[in-house]
Chain A
Amino acid sequence: MKITPIIGLETHVELKTKSKMFCGCDASHFHAEPNTHTCPVCLGLPGALPVPNRTACEWDIKLGLALHCSVNQSSFFERKNYFYPDLPKGYQITQYQKPFTVNGYLDVDGERIRINRAHMEEDTGKSQHVTLDLQEMTLIDYNRSGVPLVEIVTEPDIHSSAIAKKYLLKLQQLIRYLGISDADIEKGSMRCEPTVNLQIDTDDGRTVYTPLAEIKNVASLTGAESAIEYEIQRQLAEWQKNYVEKSATNKTTRGWDAEKSVTFLQREKEGSADYRYFPEPDIPPMEFSAVEIEAIRITIPELPEEKMAKYKSLGLSDYDANLIADDIFIAGIFEHILNNSSDKDYAKFIANMLFGPLRTVQLDPKKINRDSFKKIFENRRNLNSNSIKQLLLDSYQSGQDPLTLAEEKNLLQVSDTSQIEKFAKQVIEANPKAVADYQKNPNSIGFLVGQLMKVSGGAANPQLAREVLEKLLK
């Protein structure tokens, strides 16, 4: 028997526009007083007229383009009808037949995950299930109602929980690069709903599929991974018990209980016909010209993969290149300091500094002075590694010129060979026994280097001191 998990992911991402999708209410809702960012449109009051937020539509297209989707130049919104208290109109305004963008992909670990669509819709209100005076009830805050939401739907191309997690991480990184959402899973601005079933190739040569289950309430990356893993095992056990196969009507919705680490049956899933989609009569259709789409495309910044390749061509290790490209903020600082230089040593130096001494401080791009980096780099042979760290941090924090600081603190080493030769001759003369030892055992040179450092008052470049001594004693 061979088990192949089949996983598709629906991911919802709240856009960080200033205002909501169809009205001018403030779209930020995290930590706001309940029901203070609402109006007749997002409360679903009769007679209200929704008008789409142009920026949100453009951002949806921008994400679609970054996912290699094609853009439907003509599209329109539709009503998805269902009753639930967090949806005050009785329908969600979404896209169904003509989403803004379709048919893209995202490559994860060399595997191509096809993207079915990235469409525009609105978020619902937020429900809280509580017990008051022994009565269970639901409390609703409509601040989130009508916040712009992009739904990214994959084809069922994912075959393990590990790849699902990597897909989510990569999607999150992409969205953050585009600057259209915080995509914070813990805060709920990115939410994912895996749909899972199994392909079972039985020993007697049959191929069967277990019923589809869509998993809700996944609130963390680890949660997504565990929920999928649990569901794979549950479906396998279920099939071994009752041999029920997938049918057109037996898809279910299951909730993820993070505390108990189990999924539980929520409701039988409505079929798409039950949603009675129809074109939203209140919002005229939309058209984006090829020129407008190109204007959106050029706002897409250089993406992580391109940055990675660029950094590797600068001689950085895979590890360093990945670490820098991973976060657009760090990548921005790195490139600002590098200032288009193609000097591989300099690139490596900056990477070492960013992940070494500067790791400990809260980096403020305004305080970063690339000239300081350059000066320290150019004088690196006259500075020991501790001095480099110290100068970098001090000049970053005080804004002072690093070379002035180095002189003040007497950190510059003597790298003048003729000066070091003078010291070396002095040391050789004063230490005949150590010289004799060295002739017998070259490993004992450390003592002579130490003496030279002492004579120079600690200012000699130790590497150079060693080289000069070795040359003179040859």
Chain B
Amino acid sequence: MTDSKKLTAAEVQHIARLARLPLSDDEISRLAAQLSETTNYINVLQELNTTDILPTAQVNHKKNVFRSDEIQPSLTQQQALSTAKDTFDGFFKTEATITKNNH
């Protein structure tokens, strides 16, 4: 069995930031325990000897699936925007990603 490791609060916060999740201190300590359990479980896989095994990213044994460079019809603007939470003048609209305060 590999050594079990416990994620630190800082690590959990970092992972949460990558996933754009705002977490309370309470949630962080709860999730630190849960995530550690998950990663430790996955670590069991590390015990397998994979020396002679090629990496497997695909299980369907296909290769070279391409398309030729031809234009196919697109959605209309209305269709494209139909599931958006918010739109403006033909654009998808979101909260500002860069604000002037960044300057």
Residues of chain A touching chain B, judged by Cβ–Cβ distance below 8 Å, are 17-19, 23-26, 33-40, 43, 45, 51-57, 76, 81-85, 127-129, 132, 136-142, 255, 257, 264-266, 270, 274, 278-281, 283-287
Contacts and interface: CB of A to CB of B under 8 A. Distances in A.
B97 A266 contact: no
B88 A129 contact: no
A287 B64 contact: yes
A137 B96 contact: yes
Given A81-B18, A283-B65, A285-B63, 11 more contacts: A24-B67, A34-B89, A36-B74, A43-B75, A51-B65, A83-B20, A85-B92, A129-B96, A142-B92, A264-B103, A281-B58
B66 A54 contact: yes
B19 A35 contact: no
B102 interface: yes
A56 B57 CA distance: 23
Contacts of B18: 81-83, 270, 274
Contacts of B67: 19, 24, 51-54
A136 B91 contact: no
B38 to A, nearest CB: 15
A38 B74 contact: yes
B65 A140 contact: no
Interface stretch (B2-10, B24-32, B44-52, B76-84): B76-84
A279 B57 CA distance: 6
Contacts of B68: 53-55
Given A82-B18, A137-B96, A38 B75 contact: yes
B98 interface: yes
Contacts of A26: 71, 74
Contacts of A264: 102-103
B9 to A, nearest CB: 18
B94 A140 contact: yes
A181 to B, nearest CB: 14
B20 to A, nearest CB: 5
Contacts of B19: 83
A53 B97 CA distance: 31
B103 A257 contact: yes
B16 to A, nearest CB: 11
A257 B69 CA distance: 37
A141 B84 CA distance: 12
A51 B66 contact: yes
A36 B97 contact: no
Contacts of A36: 74, 76-77, 80
A76 B89 CA distance: 38
Nearest to B103: A264
From A35, A37, A140, A142, name the one whose CB has the most chain B CB atoms within 10 angstroms. A35
B81 to A, nearest CB: 6
A23 B58 contact: no
Contact of B71 (A25, A85, A285, A286): A25
A266 B99 CA distance: 10
A39 B92 contact: no
Contacts of B74: 25-26, 36-39
B88 A132 contact: yes
